[in-house]
Structure 1
Amino acid sequence: MATPVFEQNKNQNGGFEHPFYTGKLETVTDGYHSGYHWHYHLEMIYFTKGEAILEVGNGRKEVSAGDLILIYPCEVHAVIVEKGVASEHYVLGFDPEVLEPLSSLAFELRYVRPILASLDAHPRVLRLNKEDHKRMNSWVMEIYDEYRNQHIGFELAVTSILYQITLYLLRNPAVGWFRSSGDHRQVPPVHIRKFEQIIQYIHEHLHEDLSASMVSQQAMLSYSHFARLFKAMMHLSFTDYLHYLRIQRAEQQLVDSERSISEIAMALGYNDTSYFIKMFKRLKGISPNQYRKIVLQ
């Protein structure tokens, strides 16, 4: 069964845990297959040599040296390097909490951008030009060395470089992090924190019979105010977001071959398995069984 691997990896060198980690993977003849998995953090995979296949959900993309892959929080994905292909890539994962001083950006990357990327087929692979490839290579190598050696102050060094990478991606039109959003960029941080509490409540009670009216009462907001605020912040209605979140959780649980479709549906608050299958197919284009076959083959 797939698990949130960030919590396993970020403390791989022992000692105090940090909201980031990095690693290097090389293969000459054996090939490499990460297996379908997911994690709570945002991940960047930077290829410096060879070719590979990126699988996100039921989609596949070919990647090669100079490509930067963006994996959003909670996305089920896998990376495959065929046997006989010499390949090298670096993995950089970090929790959006690293950007907490920039509350709007942290909120965007943690909650909003994964939704928009999933719903509008947002590109996950950046083909870097020569200049950007050189810049990214320098950043990634510096983070890798800092994390591996862990000299005094390495946390500050890694965080400062992450800010530079984030700024580069933020201003890159090919990434489009704010291409179809931006309504809440001027929202006061205190309001963003309030809304983040609402989202956390939904996550924690996802298996229950939730309604917009119930959650608005929890937030001590009128139903109409809550509905308008939710749509402005998340770019989805409450009901659509609830289905999105449940189906995303279903993707993660379908990686576990021991759980039946009915068990997964019930655990996610769907009392009718047929309705769960209908919603899964509407959002993912295939049935839960078809999805499971893809990730477990």
Structure 2
Amino acid sequence: MKRGENQMKFLKIPIDKPLTHVSSGHFVSPINWSHSKRNIDSFVLIVGLQGTAYIQQDKEKYEVKPGNVLILLPYTTHFGYEISKESVSYYWCHFYCKNSSIVDESTFTKELFVPKIEASIHNDCNYVMVPIYSSYTNTDRINILFNQLLHVAYSDYYTSYGASYLLTLIMMELTQQTISDHIQKLKDDETNGKFIKMLEWIRINIENNISVCDIAREFNYNPDYLSRMFKQKIGISLIKYINSLKITKAKKMLLCSDNSIKEIAYKLGFTDEKYFMKLFKKMENITPTQYRNAFFYTHMNNH
């Protein structure tokens, strides 16, 4: 539980190269313990195992219990704001990473959550997004990976990169579980169940020239209400969502077929080839022809 809870924030980290493991361990506190005050240059990953650790990071207060994961940021003062009367236990890991950023929940939804819902989209993602603070219902895999990390970090392993790769895998697992938990929450709610069906309907009909009014009529919504509701749930507009699916499919068709740009545009429900090309350039910062020329041979050379 987090006191004074705001919109969830995520740490976004590229994983083209592994995160850099610095040190890690399994901490067990005495009774009547409080976290010391620190301001350090590395990130700290904390996975709660037993008891409750009361940790404040700047103005935000967190209660780290079993199943909770907290990331402490570099050059940010953190300390125990309350004494833990019972013994506290947690895994911890100090690490460095390059080109990281803090993003909000709408970015997570747009870049990871929505593509995961759409089974037709293969998301070759080269980064992780881990909540600064979150609770996980199934920590078995996380705990197993952390045990492996500690084994590699403190055994006579032939390369120090082993711990860094395992840490990166832990962050990938946390990202995957966050996505899965979000999907399950949608499915558990009756209203959201209808929303999932709507996303599936859009996916099936993505090659047609579907509009907000078409979707609203199919699912008995007022078009204006549907647009507001969709933006609230997903974080992007319904039109932008539809266009993103069309452009994703267009990219695949550019690499896997000999269809002309005009043919691809029409197959995806665009009545205006020039509008399709303009939209593609806006979303991908490259024209359809440039995309095909840049990636076609790379794709053909892959199994």
TM bucket by the smaller chain? Answer: 0.3 to 0.5
Q: What TM-score do the two structures reach when normalised by structure 1?
A: 0.43
Q: What TM-score do the two structures reach when normalised by structure 2?
A: 0.42
